[in-house]
Amino acid sequence: MNATPWYSGTSAALPPLSRRGFLWLGAGAATAYLAGCGGDSVGGGADGEGVGGFSGEDYAGAALTLTYWNGFTGGDGPAMQALVKKFVSEHDNIEIKTNSISWPDFYQQLPAATQAGKGPDVGAMHLDQIATTAARQVIVPLDDLAEALDLAEEDFAPSVWGPGIYNDERYGIPFDVHCLAMYYNKDHFDEPGISEPPTDAASFDEAMTKLQGAGFDTPFWMPNLWPSHLMFLSLLWQFGGEPYGEDGTEATFGDEAGVKALSWMVEQIDKGYSPTNVEADAQYTAFKNGDTSVTWDGIWQINDLQASGLPFGVPSIPTIGDEPAVWANSHQFFLTREAADDEDRSNAAKTYIGWLSEQSADWSAAGMIPARNSAREEPAYQESVQYALNEQTEYLHFLSAVPGLGGVTPETIEVAVNEAMLGVKPPEEALMDAQEDAVQLLEEVLSRYGE
């Protein structure tokens, strides 16, 4: 729990420095920075002015404090704190005040706080929220920073690169990619002699039967809440479906692929691999306690499971449908409207974002996958547990970043999956009902954001 109070950043209470003092500080910071990153410069440096006033040079002005918001409250929290500490130790004139709040609260508070002038200067958010937040004018374009950082489209997967752009301007600087994966208990798998983690529907089913034979009665607990809709989305894509039409005007998750996906999930309960009514977080607790052998969850849980000492493996989820596919999302950095109004804060914030974006390999310590193709070549990532998922990076699917779409999924897809998993409605019916709702909600969203 990171209960840092809301904090509106003001200059740190340092004694005034002489002009020479400033220069000295700036130089010190720059050297420390270069030493820390092995000479990998942030930006173009010599090629002068960037767009929007940020040149790529480290901020060298008066000492100030930036407010930084994020939702890293899980196993990823300590890794982020370590990065912040490192940044502060390398930049004498920039202090960082971090506020970590759970993601749902984060998205609710960010616009309100920004409107009230109490928001952060800088923060991290999910890729699929960028467009909505940009449309609501909470965050500002960062094209100058992207240019100064030499962010190049070819260094990123198109699915991570594209959605950071709204109305031809870049609002998000990609940091990482995270996806769903299959966790399995190695001790359980050893018992009936399953040597390889399952990779498709048949081998998955076989493994479940073997596990049951070895005395693990319910080897695969199926949640009815989080992250069941992420499992559904992954399977939907595997069966060739799409949750929404490209431009976000249509809902298509209830078609044949969706029914196949959800039916497979319900089948796991019907076959007795999972108990009924697996409630919030119970499947994860059960996996941690060794009561179930397999669970699908986000890779951000890796740190937590490692700390628990459980012998686990974390390969890709098996290909149940016709082609490999898995749900993914990405954390991206943003700058708020509030910070953009002040040139010093804005430059300091861009220095900070630029620095963090270069640490994406070190961020592997949080269980994440670096967003840059080049960072995925670095040892920090290649030696991490999640490197086992590296092949999966080409099968990642992201929800489309259409303004307002983020609010539709919880009221439609999540409800349908919940109802089907609890046996309240058969999969077809649950999906059809939710799809009808989604069509109406999408119309509302369009009338609100569509120009």
* Contacts with other proteins, residue ranges (CB under 8 A): 104, 107-108, 111-112, 115, 129, 132, 135-138, 221, 224-225, 275-280, 282, 285-286, 289, 291, 404, 406-408, 410-411, 415, 418-419, 422, 424-425, 436-437, 440-441, 444, 447-448
Q: Which is nearer to other proteins, 109 or 347 (CB)?
A: 109
Q: Which is nearer to other proteins, 110 or 361 (CB)?
A: 110
Q: Which is nearer to other proteins, 91 or 126 (CB)?
A: 126
CB of 342 to other proteins, least distance (A): 20
Q: Which is nearer to other proteins, 103 or 387 (CB)?
A: 103
CB of 443 to other proteins, least distance (A): 9
DSSP per-residue letters across 368-422 = -EESBTTGGGSHHHHTSGGGGGGGGGGGEE-----TTGGGHHHHTHHHHHHHHHT
Q: Nearest 5°: phi and psi at 247?
A: -90, 10
CB of 119 to other proteins, least distance (A): 11
CB 312 within 8 A of CB 164: no
Q: Which is nearer to other proteins, 21 or 410 (CB)?
A: 410
Tokens of residue 186, six digits: 């190695």
CB of 241 to other proteins, least distance (A): 22
CB of 32 to other proteins, least distance (A): 39
Query: 3-state DSSP call for residue 448?
Result: helix
Q: Which is nearer to other proteins, 18 or 447 (CB)?
A: 447
Query: 3-state DSSP call for residue 80?
Result: helix
CA separation for the pair 327, 237 (Å, rounded): 8
Q: Which amino acid is at 376?
A: R
CB of 282 to other proteins, least distance (A): 5
Return left, alpha or beta for 334; rule: phi > 0 is left, psi -120 to 50 is alpha, else beta: beta
Q: Which is nearer to other proteins, 129 or 268 (CB)?
A: 129
DSSP per-residue letters across 85-134 = HHHHHH-TTEEEEEEE--HHHHHHHHHHHHHTT-S-SEEEEEGGGHHHHH
CB of 370 to other proteins, least distance (A): 26
CA 225 to chain centre: 19
Residues whose CB falls within 8 Å of the CB of residue 113, separated by 6 or more in sequence, listed in order: 6, 119, 120
